[in-house]
Amino acid sequence: MQTYKILLLPGDGIGPEVMAQGEKVLRAVEAKGFAKFEITHSLVGGASIDAHGVPLTDETLAAAREADAFILGAVGGPKWEKIPYLLRPEQALLGLRHELDLYANLRPAITYMPLTDASSLKREIVEGLDILFVRELTGGMYFGEPRGIRTQEDGSRIGVNTHSYTSHQIQRVARMAFEIATQRSGKVCSVDKANVMEAGKLWREEVTELHQREFPNIQLTHMYADNCAMQLVRAPRQFDVIFTDNLFGDILSDEAGMLTGSLGMLPSCALGDVRPDGRRNAMYEPIHGSAPDIAGQNIANPLATILSIAMMLRYTCDNVKGAEAVERAVIHVLGQGLRTKDIHTPNCRLVKCDEMADAVVAVL
The amino acid that residue 349 corresponds to is R
DSSP string, 198-256: HHHHHHHHHHHHHHHHH-TTSEEEEEEHHHHHHHHHH-GGG-SEEEE-HHHHHHHHHHH
> Which three-class secondary structure state does DSSP give residue 164?
coil
The amino acid that residue 7 corresponds to is L
On whether the CB atoms of residues 129 and 111 are closer than 8 A, the answer is yes
| Residues facing 187 on adjacent strands | 219
Question: Residue 291: left if φ>0, alpha if ψ -120 to 50, beta else—which one?
Answer: left
3-state helix, strand and coil shares in percent for the chain, rounded to the nearest 5: 45, 20, 30
Query: Known catalytic residues?
Result: 142, 193, 226, 250, 254
Q: What's the DSSP call for residue 166?
A: -
Cα(135)–Cα(16) distance, rounded to whole angstroms? 26
Which helix (H) or strand (E) segment holds residue 58: the answer is: helix 58-66
| Residues facing 219 on adjacent strands | 187
Cα(35)–Cα(310) distance, rounded to whole angstroms? 12
User: HEC states along 271-337?
Assistant: EEEECCCCCEEEEECCCCCCCCCCCCCCCCCCHHHHHHHHHHHHHCCCCHHHHHHHHHHHHHHHHCC
Core vs surface per residue 55-83: b (16+ CB within 10 A) or e: bbbeebbebbeebbbbbbbbbbbeebeee
On whether the CB atoms of residues 163 and 140 are closer than 8 A, the answer is yes
> Which three-class secondary structure state does DSSP give residue 12?
coil
